Amino acid sequence: MDIGVKGRRAIVCGGSKGISRAAARRLSLEGAKVVLVARTPETLAETARSIMEESGVAVEYFATDLTLPSGRDALLDAYPATDILVANAGVPQTSLQYKDLTPDVWNWWMEAHFHSAMGLIYAYAPGMCERAFGRIVNISVSFIKFPQVSVGHSHAARLALAGAIASLVREIAPHNVTINSVLPGLINTDALHEAIRGMAEERGVSFETVEAELRSSNAANRIADPQEAGDLIAMLCAKQIGFMTGQNIVSDGGAYQGIF
CB 88 within 8 A of CB 20: yes
Question: Which pLDDT tens digit goes with each residue over 13-45?
Answer: 999 999 999 999 999 999 999 999 999 999 999
Least confident span in 42-56, 136-150, 177-191: 136-150
| 165 and 118 both lie in a single domain | yes
Is 194 contained in some domain?
yes
Specify whether 175 is located in the same domain as 209: no
Instruction: For residue 256, tell me if it sits in a domain.
Output: no
pLDDT band at 143 (very low <50, low <70, confident <90, very high): confident
Range of the domain at 30: 9-186+225-248
For residues 58 and 87, state if they share a domain: yes
Contact 207, 200 (CB under 8 A): yes
Same domain, 195 and 105: no
Q: Let me know whether 20 and 93 are in one domain.
A: yes
Query: Can you give the CATH number for the domain in which 106 is found?
Result: 3.40.50.720
Q: How many percent of the chain have pLDDT more than 90?
A: 75
Statement to judge: residues 74 and 193 lie in one domain = no
The pLDDT, as a whole number, for residue 198 is 82
CA dist., res. 128 & res. 247, Å (int) = 19
Would 107 be classed as within a structural domain? yes
Residue 24 vs residues 115, 116, 150, 208, 214: alpha-carbon distances, Å: 22, 19, 31, 30, 27
Residues 163 and 196 in one domain: no
CA dihedral 23, 71, 63, 169 (to 10 degrees): 20
Are 158 and 199 in contact by the 8 Å Cβ rule? The answer is no
In a domain, 258, yes or no: no
Domain count for the chain: 2
Closest alpha carbon to 90 in 20, 30, 156: 20
d(CA 152, CA 161): 14
Question: Collapsing DSSP states into helix, strand and coil, what is residue 134?
Answer: strand
Q: Are residues 80 and 130 in the same domain?
A: yes
pLDDT of 93 reads 67
Give 208 or 147, the one with higher predicted confidence: 208
User: DSSP strand E in 90-176: where?
Assistant: 134-139
Are 92 and 14 part of one and the same domain? yes
Classify residue 3: in a domain, yes or no.
no
Lowest-pLDDT range, 45-49, 97-101, 129-133? 97-101
Does residue 157 fall inside a structural domain? yes
Please give the pLDDT value at position 164: 95
**Rounded-to-integer distance, Cα 89 and Cα 117, Å:** 7
Q: Is there a domain that residue 208 lies in?
A: yes
Which residues, other chains included, contact 144 with Cβ-Cβ below 8 Å and sequence gap of 6+? 155, 158, 159, 162, 183, 248
* pLDDT for position 196: 87
* Any domain includes 171: yes
Q: Is the pLDDT of residue 9 over 90?
A: yes
Give the pLDDT confidence of 91-118 residue by residue, as tens digits: 766 766 677 768 887 788 889 899 999 9
47 shares a domain with 79: yes
246 Rama class: left (phi>0) / alpha (psi -120 to 50) / beta:
left
Residues 171 and 60 in one domain: yes
What average pLDDT does range 218-237 have in this prediction?
96
78 & 198 share domain: no
